[in-house]
Amino acid sequence: MKQYSKRMVIVHWLTLALLIAAWFLGDSLADATDDSKATLAGYITHIAAGAAILLLTVTRLLFRSQDGTPPAMGLTAMDKVARGIHHALYTALFVLPVSGVLTLATSDAGKALLAGDANLLPKKDGYEHVFAHGMHEQLVTVLIVLVAVHLLGAIKHQFITKDDLMSRMLLRRKA
């Protein structure tokens, strides 16, 4: 069975690590905003994680076009669902950071960062009328669901189907 290229595997797992970090950073930032304790550093760290995720997603798409991908496991309805989940994951990984940028552009957070003044950061309910922020939060939920379905599919292949599909996304190469 053909495996993904090493660089695609590395980008896959780095993206996952950054997604987890960005999620926790965003959750902490939301709590700090509600408590009026958010900091510019908190925003900058979350933004950096989101920017890195977007960069890794674009890089991964570039690597896919250069390195190719292993063939699909089959043509069943579930295989088509899996392909749709992958397309949805890529879409979410691109649109989520874009919605973050739009949130900055249309809220007081962007003004605070440009001014370097934490006093201008949004406080509790400060994003109530910022459409992009609501979209950003909804996309986080969508991404969590997509990742969960993706993970369940991997678990199914590993423990039920036992077709060794997960080995395609490991750095260790089969002989």
Q: Using one digit for the tens of pLDDT, what is the confidence trace for 61-85?
A: 999 999 999 888 778 898 899 999 9
Those residues whose C-beta lies under 8 Å from the C-beta of residue 158, and which sit 6 or more positions away, are: 165, 166
DSSP 8-class letter at 157: I
Tokens matching residue 93? 């990984």
Q: Using one digit for the tens of pLDDT, what is the confidence trace for 165-175?
A: 888 898 876 65
DSSP 8-class letter at 169: G
162 conformational bin, left if phi > 0, alpha if psi -120 to 50, beta if neither: left
What's the pTM value of the predicted model, to 2 decimals? 0.91
Q: Using one digit for the tens of pLDDT, what is the confidence trace for 38-53?
A: 999 999 999 999 999 9
**Which of the pair, 124 or 172, is modelled with greater confidence?**
124
- Provide, rounded to the nearest whole percent, the portion of the chain with pLDDT above 90: 83
Average pLDDT of 5-28? Answer: 96
pLDDT at 99: 97
Statement: residue 129 has pLDDT above 60: yes
